Amino acid sequence: MATRISIEDFDALGRAEIPFVELLGYRVDAMDEGVATVRAPYDERFLRPGGTISGPVLMGLADYASYAAILSRIGNVPMAVTTNLNINFLKRPTPGDVTATARVIKLGKRLAVCDVFVHGDTDAASPVAHVTTTYSLPPY
Amino acid sequence: MATRISIEDFDALGRAEIPFVELLGYRVDAMDEGVATVRAPYDERFLRPGGTISGPVLMGLADYASYAAILSRIGNVPMAVTTNLNINFLKRPTPGDVTATARVIKLGKRLAVCDVFVHGDTDAASPVAHVTTTYSLPPY
Amino acid sequence: MATRISIEDFDALGRAEIPFVELLGYRVDAMDEGVATVRAPYDERFLRPGGTISGPVLMGLADYASYAAILSRIGNVPMAVTTNLNINFLKRPTPGDVTATARVIKLGKRLAVCDVFVHGDTDAASPVAHVTTTYSLPPY
Amino acid sequence: MATRISIEDFDALGRAEIPFVELLGYRVDAMDEGVATVRAPYDERFLRPGGTISGPVLMGLADYASYAAILSRIGNVPMAVTTNLNINFLKRPTPGDVTATARVIKLGKRLAVCDVFVHGDTDAASPVAHVTTTYSLPPY
């Protein structure tokens, strides 16, 4: 089945309503029902000691990918909000784009849960982070 | 006992080495041995739908407070890196400054764990988020 | 204020309704409004390689302490259920009793969050584990 | 590639060294390099209010499946120990067997991370819980 919000509409929502998204340059690569891939194009401001991408860039990206994946299931419901996020950093991402692919693994009336993998473009083989997110949903 | 890195030295490290810190304007309010409070001065770019502070701003702040708390114990060791972060969002922070206070609850040879509470300035009574972080430590 | 369920009533609920509690011998040491301490009396069946207490014993104990702390706020509502639990093991507990002290840090209409420290009796100074739990609440 | 510890050897380790495993009756269904499925045969002692399987049974099972998956990569190294476990309960498991399938998503020199799905036998379509685990590894 198809996503219940188009990439264009989701991108417009993100840019209009979430300045953080605009600030970091996140954009949607792909959306399908229950799954979304979001990209953070490389930016020198993302670096931290050791020449790797800063953790909050990855956390924000995984959170945004989850938001996209959930809205792909429930439609344009901006007030879905994160209640829990757990991230394991698996290896140091080298400078370059990073993408997060979120998949909805539970969609209830009040809560949704996503499983998210974050990859660096320079090494697609193994993820740089794994994230789980929980969203609280308004009536939809 | 006193912190093993001064606020001035830690702030200098953050601004010099972590552009994300500069970008979001995080700054240290207080440091003592094993505990640190870091502030995100309010910025309209932090908002998200519903008029609350965006989650990644709080995650980044809690992570940075943990980094400060750990360096207050082990000194200027920039290569301490986050391996896990778990955040529970407890209530929606209204527009205004937010602060994160991190406390080291375990310091081993290889891993450190922090317990972090995030508060909004407009309601000091109850936290807006609770975070736990784990850092992997190089030999120190 | 006082707890909204007595230790006796909570212990009776646990023993009657949760065989796992009876199986592992958990019992309540103390309850006050929004905080509870639960004990796992030492049992050789709790050990794992290295002569320390097995992780699931601590996870179950922290979960049960959270249940007690939440019911101390909302009264006898058995259908409060865990939706998320995050545990960091801080050091290896030596053989002996362990206790978990849970504190409610958020109580909403639908979700409650607890902060839990687990201690071994043989070393009260530093915790053996730190846990956060989220419960989904039925109408109460 | 094949597992670096046989099901028989792993089961023997579990039963000999971890009384909790024997107590709850966990047993290995399948192991391959980097992945393991462990089963908790249904037992009335697992129930909690609402007639569902108690959370600690699932947490212990996911932890044990992770231990199996990691040892399938590094061989018989009993002193691998859990440092973090995060569980999201996705739906209430009805009475019946439950299985946990753990997959190693990062194997470093000091840390390993697993992604684990827990399923009930009565509804294989959707998971009852999702878990991530981190293990600290001795030199191996």
Query: Which three-class secondary structure state does DSSP give residue C89?
Result: strand
* Cβ–Cβ gap C113/B86 under 8 Å: no
| Token representation of residue D48 | 């909690």
Query: Which three-class secondary structure state does DSSP give residue A19?
Result: helix
Q: Is residue B2 part of a domain?
A: no
CB contact at 8 A, B134 and B102: no
Q: Residue C8, Cα to own-chain centre: how many angstroms?
A: 16
Q: What is the mean pLDDT of residues D1-16?
A: 91
pLDDT bin (cut points 50, 70, 90) of residue A1 is: low
Report the number of distinct structural domains present in chain C. Answer: 1
Find which of A105, A117, A123 to mutate to test the D interface (most D CBs within 10 Å of its CB). A105
Look up residue D85 and give its amino acid: L
- Residue of chain A whose alpha carbon sits nearest to that of C133: A84
b (16+ CB within 10 A) / e for D109-120: eebbbbbbbbbb
- Residue of chain C whose alpha carbon sits nearest to that of D49: C17
Q: Residue B33, Cα to own-chain centre: how many angstroms?
A: 15
CA angle B127, B133, D91 (to 5 degrees): 75
Distant-in-sequence, close-in-space partners of B11: CB < 8 Å, separation ≥ 6:
B27, B28
Q: How many beta-carbon pairs below 8 A join chains B and C?
A: 41
* Cβ–Cβ gap A110/C136 under 8 Å: yes
CB contact at 8 A, B103 and B69: yes
If one counts every other C-beta atom within 10 angstroms of the C-beta of residue A50, the result is 11
Q: Is the pLDDT of residue D124 over 80?
A: no
| Token representation of residue B59 | 């995650």
Residue A58: which of A18, A92, A19 has the closest Cα? A92
Q: What is the pLDDT along chain B (140 residues), one digit of tens a residue?
A: 689 999 999 999 998 888 889 889 999 999 999 999 999 999 988 888 888 899 999 999 999 999 999 999 999 999 999 999 999 999 988 899 999 999 999 999 999 999 999 999 877 779 999 999 999 999 99
Q: Is residue D38 part of a domain?
A: yes
Q: What is the pLDDT of residue D114?
A: 98
Query: Which three-class secondary structure state does DSSP give residue C124?
Result: coil
CA angle D20, D82, D89 (to 5 degrees): 75
| Token representation of residue B15 | 């601004």
Burial class of residue D81 (count of CB atoms within 10 Å of its CB; 0-12, 13-18, 19+): middle
CB contact at 8 A, B86 and A59: no
CB contact at 8 A, C10 and C28: yes
Residue D24: which of D50, D62, D51, D52 has the closest Cα? D62
Residue C103: which of C132, C69, C135, C129 has the closest Cα? C69
Indicate the range of A88-92, A106-110, B73-77, D124-128 predicted with least confidence.
Answer: D124-128
Find which of A83, A107, A137 to mutate to test the C interface (most C CBs within 10 Å of its CB). A83
Q: How many beta-carbon pairs below 8 A join chains A and C?
A: 14
- Give the count of alpha carbons within 13 A of C28, CB side only: 27
Q: Is residue A2 part of a domain?
A: no
Q: Is residue A129 part of a domain?
A: yes
Predicted model pTM: 0.96
Q: What is the pLDDT of residue C26?
A: 95
pLDDT beneath 70, residues of chain C: 1
Mean pLDDT for chain A? 93
If one counts every other C-beta atom within 10 angstroms of the C-beta of residue A83, the result is 24
Q: Is residue B1 part of a domain?
A: no
What one-character-per-residue DSSP string does chain D give?
---SS-HHHHHHHHHHH-HHHHHHT-EEEEEETTEEEEEE---GGGEETTTEE-HHHHHHHHHHHHHHHHHHHH-S-TT-EEEEEEEEE-SPPPSS-EEEEEEEEEE-SSEEEEEEEEEETTB-SS-SEEEEEEEE----
The span from the CA of C62 to the CA of C69, in Å, is 10
Q: Residue B53, Cα to own-chain centre: how many angstroms?
A: 16
Look up residue A135 and give its amino acid: Y
> How large a percentage of chain A has pLDDT more than 90?
77
Name the residue with higher pLDDT: A86 or A49: A86
| Token representation of residue A102 | 């979120």
Residue-wise pLDDT tens digits, A21-62:
988 999 999 999 999 999 999 998 888 888 889 999 999 999
If one counts every other C-beta atom within 10 angstroms of the C-beta of residue C108, the result is 12
Q: Is residue D1 part of a domain?
A: no
b (16+ CB within 10 A) / e for C5-23: bebeebbebbeeebbbbeb
Q: Is residue B98 part of a domain?
A: yes
Q: Is residue D36 part of a domain?
A: yes
| Token representation of residue C40 | 């796992």
D22 interaction partners in chain C (CB closer than 8 Å)? 45
Residue B135: which of B122, B116, B121 has the closest Cα? B116
Q: What is the pLDDT of residue B55?
A: 92
Q: What is the pLDDT of residue B133?
A: 98
* CATH (domain of C127): 3.10.129.10
| Residue D108 domain boundaries | 7-136
Nearest to C86 among A86, A110, A136 (CB): A86
CB contact at 8 A, B38 and B26: yes
Q: What is the pLDDT of residue D137?
A: 96
Residue-wise pLDDT tens digits, D58-107:
999 999 999 999 999 999 999 999 999 999 999 988 899 999 999 999 99
Find which of B81, B82, B83 to mutate to test the D interface (most D CBs within 10 Å of its CB). B83
Query: Which three-class secondary structure state does DSSP give residue B138?
Result: coil
Q: What is the pLDDT of residue A47?
A: 85
CA distance B18 to chain A (A): 5
Q: What is the pLDDT of residue D63?
A: 96
B59 interaction partners in chain A (CB closer than 8 Å)? 56, 59-60, 63, 85
